[in-house]
Chain A
Amino acid sequence: MVTRRAQGKSKAARKPGRGQTIAGAIMAVIALCGLTDATFLTVMHLTGDDSVCGPSAGCSKVLSSVYASVGKVPTAAFGMVAYFVVFSAAVCLAFGYAKARTVLNGVVAVMFLATLGFLYLQAFVIHAFCPFCLLSAALTFLLAGTALASWPSR
């Protein structure tokens, strides 16, 4: 009984391998950058300010489009939540919580698909690109790449 409990404990937070720690740390840093970007965009949206775009009318077109919010919730706010979940899971992974990988991979996969959708909207529906959205897309692709590269081989 005692042995089984000890085994269960060691499964939850066993000493992480070097690769797992590095992958977790890298993904946590990328997610932190994405969280900053998404937070910035969310606040700009909530304050009704798209002047961050400077002279770029294309950027403003994206940030003021109907796709920039779902009801009254800015689309960037969903990004904030997603990046925060990825950050949390990546930190847990780096500290040896192997189960965090499932959450991490799941959320990154959803983000990857959503990013493809947003890129499609910018390129073919809105016909304009927003640099902050492109930065977020690049960070999501990096997350997906890192998740794939650190996939545990059996």
Chain B
Amino acid sequence: MRRFLPVLIILAVAIVTAATAAWFYHEKMRPDAPKPSPALATDSATKPSSTIPPDIAAPADPVPAVDSLHVRGAAGAPVTLEVYGDFQCPSCAKTTEIIADLEKSYGSKLRVVFHEFPLAMHAHALEAAMAAEAAGVQGHFWEMHDALYKYQDVWSKASNPGRFFAAYAETMGLNPAQFQADLQSVQINSQIKTQGDAGVARGVRNTPTLFINREEVKGIFDPVSMRSAIDAALAGKKGT
């Protein structure tokens, strides 16, 4: 019996590990699909109506008007904060909240540029990036950007997040047919890939990666350190 005991112990550990991993994986992947509509209803109720234009007509130009860069803020802002983000990355969602506060407090001194950097490890990241870009074609990139991060917990656990994206698009007043068509667009897909490749060429390896006035921000992205980085950039601009 003693002769077989090591084999039995090893087998038992292998079986327990495999079973636990399989159970854990199954639990994490279980679609708990909560309805998106209440959250969106709250969102649209709290947002000023001016952020969702009533005109939802498709642009006349059939070529998707997706800029390779998405910019929010004053064009002449002394500080440009570039974000390489993945919509399914939890720390990107947290960083986005911090950036939103910074945008409020720095006003016209700060502009934000978003670059797509969907990571392969996140099952729905590319789909979400496509949704943001598809919304961008109709001039609503930033609304979709904000919604995707705000409701990340909801759609990222769903087996079919596309229906959430469609619901968000509908709330924003986008043309649903065009939105669905753009979600499948090869051109948009290649634009996302181009943005990702450009990030890799620039040394981006993970998300979120931030640049302030083209200098990579190192370390932890908490409000205090980000404020001091922006203040330093502002001081540098004044000095020159």
Contact = CB atoms under 8 A, between A and B. Distances in A.
A80 B25 CA distance: 15
Interface residues of A, number: 45
Contact of B13 (A32, A45, A51): A32
B35 interface: no
A91 B9 contact: yes
Given A45-B121, A48-B88, A35 B28 contact: no
Contacts of B221: 57
Nearest to A24: B6
Contact of A39 (B20, B89, B207): B20
Given A35-B17, A45-B121, A48-B124, A95 B28 contact: no
Given A50-B90, A66-B206, A84 B17 contact: yes
B2 interface: yes
Q: Could you say which interface size class chain B belongs to?
A: 35 or more
A92 B6 contact: yes
Give me the 10 closest cross-chain CB pairs, A-B, nearest first.
Answer: A60-B91, A65-B206, A47-B28, A48-B122, A57-B91, A95-B6, A51-B90, A88-B10, A48-B123, A43-B24
Interface of A: 13, 32, 35, 39-40, 42-51, 53, 55-62, 64-69, 72, 74, 80, 84, 87-88, 91-92, 94-95, 97, 125-128
17 contacts: A35-B13, A40-B24, A44-B28, A46-B25, A47-B25, A47-B29, A48-B123, A57-B95, A57-B221, A64-B121, A65-B205, A66-B206, A68-B121, A69-B120, A69-B121, A88-B10, A95-B6
